Each structure stands twice: as structure tokens, then as C-alpha cells.
Amino acid sequence: MRLKDKVAIITGAGQGIGEGIAMRFAREGAKVVLVDVNESQIKQVEQNIKADNGIALAIVGDVTSQEAMKDLVEQVVKEFGTIDILINNAGITRDALLHKMSEDKWDMVINVNLKGTFNLCQAVAPIMREKGYGKIVNISSAARMGNVGQTNYSASKAGVVGLTRALCKELAPKQINVNAVAPGFIETEMSKKVPEDILKALIKNIPMLRQGTIDEIAGTCVFLASDEAAFINGQVIHVDGGRFMF
Ligand SMILES: NC(=O)c1ccc[n+]([C@@H]2O[C@H](COP(=O)([O-])OP(=O)(O)OC[C@H]3O[C@@H](n4cnc5c(N)ncnc54)[C@H](O)[C@@H]3O)[C@@H](O)[C@H]2O)c1
């Protein structure tokens, strides 16, 4: 077990990639705190982890609220004594071409994806600083490179990278790792709804000629959150089948 007894907060753990990360972390021995706005879904994930002999605590919470995230971190420390790992995974899309991009769509995406990441980093940092240990993994996206119809989403995910790099410089002297994972095209409920001809065209642009799996993102997060990755800091790992190379 690579994360034995580590306390890990995972946001957006109610479904998709966040759920996959939570399940995998629990199997690696972590005590996982599931955060999501969707109560019924995180309760279900909590039950599934417990049925698999894992340790999980579901807390309903909106990452856009700075105050709620501070309270949540206090609650986690009361329950488990500390926080070792934070995975900022909660994210949304509200796509539109620029001329149709409402202020509301812009604000919602920036608030959840970027401010939500900031809120949790700020809330956990004092605990990690004090113990001189911590792992933060922020979920960015290949869309940080720029996608049509996603000025809000691409800006938020590029912002997550900027935040990751700046925070790495602030926290690295305290032996805290802050990295980002940028998934490419991943097989989720959402991608199953993409029409077949569009799916084929998208896959043609991926050197590995296939979509990635949730477990391939979860595995990268396990690695970055483990001590095997102790000297990797401020990096963006693209998990995208070779789509972007730097
Ligand atoms: N699916 C992909 O192909 C893909 C590719 C690149 C990046 N990503 C990123 O990976 C992450 C997960 O994506 P997914 O496909 O699993 O998404 P998803 O929509 O399946 O799941 C996101 C989860 O976040 C929760 N959430 C939304 N707003 C929240 C809030 N304000 N506070 C707390 N929880 C909230 C939702 O309830 C949901 O359970 C996102 O950050 C996304 O941008 C996904």
C-alpha cells in the first residue's frame, strides 16, 4: 500500500475521475475525505469504499465557498488529526463561443475550477506547513492549451497551472509538493455521450489512438501523492496518450 494511513481530501469525488481517485486512494490505504455538492453521490461512494474495507468520510461542500472549505478542513482535522494529501479535482464546464459567453458562465467556471482550487490550498496549507509534509495535486486539463468554445474553461485550467507553480515556490521549502495533472480525453459518462463521428475524429489526434481511462488518471495521482514522487515539484503531468509533448 503506497498511501497507508495518509489522510487525503478529494474534491468532486461524487462521480467520474474524482470517484476513481477516491476508490484507488482508499485501496492504497489512505483515509479519504470525499467532498462534493452532490450528497447522494458522495454518500454512495463512501458506502462503496467502506464495503471494500476502506476508510472514507463524505462531507457535502461547495468548493467555491472559502468559509465552508475552512470549516471542512477543521472538521477533517478533528476527525482524523491531520491532512497529508489534497486532490483538487472538482471541475465544471459551461461551454460557449466568446460572443455567447455570458458573465454567469464565465464566473461559474472560474469560481469552481480556479477559486475552488485556491480555497482548498489556502485552507490546508497551514496544516502542511506546520508538519513539514504535504502533497497537493491539482487537476488541470489538456484544455489549458486552448479549446474553441472554452475561453472560460481553458483560462481556469491554465490558471490552475499558474497557481500550482506559484504555490510550489511558496511551499517547497517546507517539503510540500504541489503538482498538476492535465488529463487529455478520458472515458467518462460525459464522453460516452459524444457522437461517434466526433469521437472518431478526436481519437485520430491522439498518438495512442484511444481515450484514457479514469484509472490512468487515478494512478498518476497515487504516484504524485506518494513518497516515490518526493522530488517532483511544480510540474504539470499530461496524461493524454501523447497528445501534447513539451
Ligand atoms: N473527463 C475528462 O475527459 C477530463 C479531461 C480533462 C480534465 N478533466 C477534469 O477532471 C476533473 C473531473 O472531471 P470529470 O469528468 O470526472 O467531471 P464530472 O462532472 O464527472 O465530476 C465532477 C464532480 O465535481 C462535483 N462538483 C461540481 N461543482 C462542485 C463544487 N462547486 N463543489 C464541489 N464539488 C463540485 C460534481 O458534483 C461532480 O461529482 C475536472 O476538474 C475536469 O475539469 C476531465
Rounded to whole angstroms, the Cα distance separating 87 from 177 reads 12
Three-state SS for 34? Answer: strand
Residues 11/89, Cβ–Cβ less than 8 Å: yes
Measure the N-to-C terminal CA separation of the chain; round to a whole number of Å.
32
Length of the chain: 246
Q: Name which CATH class applies to 7-239.
A: alpha beta
Residues with CB under 6 A from ligand 1: 11-12, 14-18, 35-38, 41, 62-64, 89-92, 112, 116, 139, 141, 183, 185-186, 188, 190-191
pLDDT digits (tens, 9 = 90+) for 130-173: 999 999 999 999 999 999 999 999 999 999 999 999 999 999 99
Region 126-130: mean pLDDT is 98
Span from the CA of 117 to the centroid of ligand 1 (angstroms): 12
Region 204-213: mean pLDDT is 97
Question: Does the predicted model carry a pTM greater than 0.95?
Answer: yes
pLDDT digits (tens, 9 = 90+) for 55-114: 999 999 999 999 999 999 999 999 999 999 999 999 999 999 999 999 999 999 999 999
What are the domain boundaries of the chain? 7-239
Q: Where are the alpha helices (DSSP H) in 37-178?
A: 39-51, 66-80, 103-109, 116-131, 151-171
For ligand 1, atom 36, which residue shows the shortest CA distance? 12
